[in-house]
A and B are shown apart, each in its own frame.
Chain A
Amino acid sequence: MLQLSFNKRSDRRTVPPRQLAELQEGERAVLERLELPEDVARRLMEMGFVPGNTMTAARSAPGGDPRVFRVDGSEIALRHETAVHLILRP
């Protein structure tokens, strides 16, 4: 029992939540939450970055940043520094 729960805890520690910024081109994932100030989060949600919504990473600008994400059939460009605060569902 002890062993098991220990494993569980270490699992949680070794697998940190993934960020939107980590998605590779063409990869899809569901958004879990936005760790951003309220006004910024609201703006992003209005653009489609809502918890529970699926997003796909698309092309990026030359140099890898900003990257375009496909949400609700639209394409929206975000910088890496913003995309790290968008946490994906495991």
Chain B
Amino acid sequence: MGGCSGCSLAAGTVSAAAVQPGRHVVALVGPPNSGKSTLFNRLTGLRQKVANFPGVTVEKHIGRAKLSGDRETLLIDLPGIYSLHPRTEDEQVTHDVLAGRMPDVPRPDAVLLILDSTALGRHLVMAAPVLALGIPTLVVLNMADDLRSRGGHVDVAALSHQLGAPVALVSAARGEGVEGIDDFLRGTAAHPRSPLVELPILQDVPRCREWAARVGSRSSYRAPAPAEWSRRLDAVFLHPLAGPLVFLIVVLAVFQTIFTGARPLMSLVESAITASGNAVAALLPEGILRSLLVEGVWSGVGAVVVFLPQILLLFLFIGILEDSGYLARAAVIADRTMRRVGLQGKSFIPLLSAYACAVPAIMATRTIENKRDRIATILIAPFMTCSARLPVYTLIVAAFIPAKPLLGGLLGSRAAAMLGLYLIGFLAAFVTARALKSSVLKSERTPFVLELPPYRWPTLRSLGLRLLDRASVFLRRAGTLILAVAIVLWALAHLPLTDGKPPAIENSVVGTIGRTVEPLIEPLGFNWKIGVGLITSLAAREVIVGTLGAIYGMEGNSQSLSLQSALQRDLSLAGAVALLIFFAFAMQCISTMAVVRRETGGWKWPAVQFAYMTALAYCSAFLAYRIVSAL
């Protein structure tokens, strides 16, 4: 669930980081929660790229290591796995890369095996299959700071002799002991020759464990005292009453902050866009270029870029919840509810990340072993309110819902409206899951097994990398897809020319298209401008904001109005509610449909999903329009 880097993948904007032969290739292998990605971020910083392994949806993280030597070292971060026995897609990919059987990826020259030093009893088992591959391997014992502070101990030299491989004790989060990894990568680390113990037969898990226990005790490994503060926190977060209450408070606080906390930053961005637009307008002579830049590009792209602070804030919250370890607890709490709709707690984690973006969420479903559970999760994921809906919701809610304090000032009416929109998406997902799981996707239950990592402070570094990644995806989309839509829209709004002059927007090509679809959407309370927005937002939801920005920017009498006031003039309250409901349910995202097709191996499921979601959106919006109009 690495942020929303997936959006860019599906949109095809990140060129696959190709690994050329002749380079020094190092693979990072290790179980989940061993701090593998933290170490990867530590070693590569910003010099990393995300791509996909060919044919599968497992993300391939590749980065260049900062080494003082002249040789370029490429690090590949493989998915977190508990064994090399290929059963899930993650395990298959790791297995294939290490065996040199993955197309486009040469067999690694070296392996960094990352194990959690506080859980060596279990993690050391992973050493056997990795060492058996015969690739030069450095065993990295991570979380050294935790091990020390909780009174654990391990004799690194003895362990290195036992395993016949160099061992480094590090803390990736603090950057402690990372020099040892540099030495190994430069090939200067001392290599002990043959292991003192024979490797066990890999198929036999109990034998492997015995082997690991023997190696551990010969390296005088003493497991640390259990993380007491983690248990104390669980006493609150998993408490029968306090647990769900804390969950609710966290959710409310996130909404309130996203809605009100982002305001000052958003107005800052907004005034910067207005000022730069005015500056450009002042610089250029009156004419076609000025019209294109100011009315087309600035009002179209600018209308979307304004929402960057809000989206980053949402990703910051999701990042904190994920990195701190709270998300795993939330999955445990949610398991009971998920079971009621026929799914399990594991489906909850992809669904939660779908609040950021459905694309990585759908890719994250690969941890679900049961195929039918997985398809059901994929089909309901786009109902979760993704960050692309945020600009649409914010714009309409701010324009039509007056700000009033609720619950004694705890929650604003606008934040409450947003919360309501998030809730109906959630409800739609649950009803759909229930229907699917009791009919076409009925299956036997698979066991729910989930590791709860100890609570950790999220590091600024990993949160920063996440936000940077997200900001670049968002801005790239604004600079490509939304820019292109804005330019095409501007051109179509200025055609056909009569006597060399552009027509009034109602009579332009855009106006004609809008008027053609108008009868179809009139029952929902939308006019032709919204209709044009609905068409362009088939590419991505937030495009409607840019489209409306551009249309109103070109329309003579609304040019001076803000987008909000222009909308207020053009849409009734009932129509606004219908539009919100439509966006809550409709599938307007090319990237999601592409990833669903790839995941489910055909057009059948994305077609079913698109038809179902559009029909639901249309009918619900119609009902909402009728009900609110009657009030």
Contacts and interface: CB of A to CB of B under 8 A. Distances in A.
A42 B239 contact: no
Contact of B450 (A39, A58, A62, A77): A77
Nearest to A45: B205
A61 to B, nearest CB: 5
Contacts of A43: 82, 87, 449
Contact of B333 (A62, A71, A73): A62
Given A60-B238, A66-B345, A73-B223, A47 B336 contact: no
Contacts of B122: 47-48, 71-74
Contacts of A81: 445, 447
A46 B244 contact: no
Contact of A76 (B118, B224, B445, B449): B449
A89 interface: no
A66 B332 contact: yes
A76 B454 CA distance: 11
A72 B119 contact: yes
A46 B333 contact: no
B235 interface: yes
B206 A45 contact: yes
Interface in A29-88: 36, 39-40, 42-48, 50-53, 58-63, 65-66, 68, 70-79, 81-82
A77 B239 CA distance: 15
Interface in B65-112: 82-83, 85, 87
Contacts of B339: 79
A32 B609 CA distance: 46
B405 interface: no
Given A42-B205, A74-B122, A77-B449, A47 B82 contact: yes
Contacts, number: 108
Contact of B448 (A47, A71, A82): A82
B234 interface: yes
Contacts of A61: 238, 243, 332-333, 335-336
A48 B412 CA distance: 48
B300 interface: no
A30 to B, nearest CB: 13
Contacts of B328: 77
Contacts of B121: 48, 72-73
A39 to B, nearest CB: 7
Contacts of A62: 238-241, 243-244, 333, 336
A17 B328 CA distance: 31
Contacts of A78: 447-449
Nearest to B206: A50
A51 B234 CA distance: 27
A68 B238 contact: yes
Given A59-B235, A66-B335, A66-B345, A77 B448 contact: yes
Interface string B213-255: 0000000000110100001001100111101100000000000
Given A51-B206, A70-B226, A72-B122, A40 B447 contact: yes
A51 B205 CA distance: 10
Contacts of B224: 73
Given A59-B234, A73-B224, A79 B205 contact: no
Contacts of B372: none
Contact of B452 (A42, A45, A48, A76): A76
Nearest to A42: B205
B49 interface: no
Interface in B109-164: 118-119, 121-122, 125
A83 B321 CA distance: 28
Interface of B: 82-83, 85, 87, 118-119, 121-122, 125, 205-206, 209, 223-224, 226, 231, 234-235, 238-241, 243-244, 328, 332-333, 335-336, 339, 345, 445-452
Given A62-B244, A70-B226, 8 more contacts: A39-B87, A47-B122, A62-B241, A72-B119, A73-B122, A74-B122, A76-B449, A77-B451
Interface of A: 36, 39-40, 42-48, 50-53, 58-63, 65-66, 68, 70-79, 81-82
Q: Which 6 A-B pairs have the closest CB atoms?
A: A72-B121, A45-B205, A62-B240, A82-B447, A72-B122, A75-B452
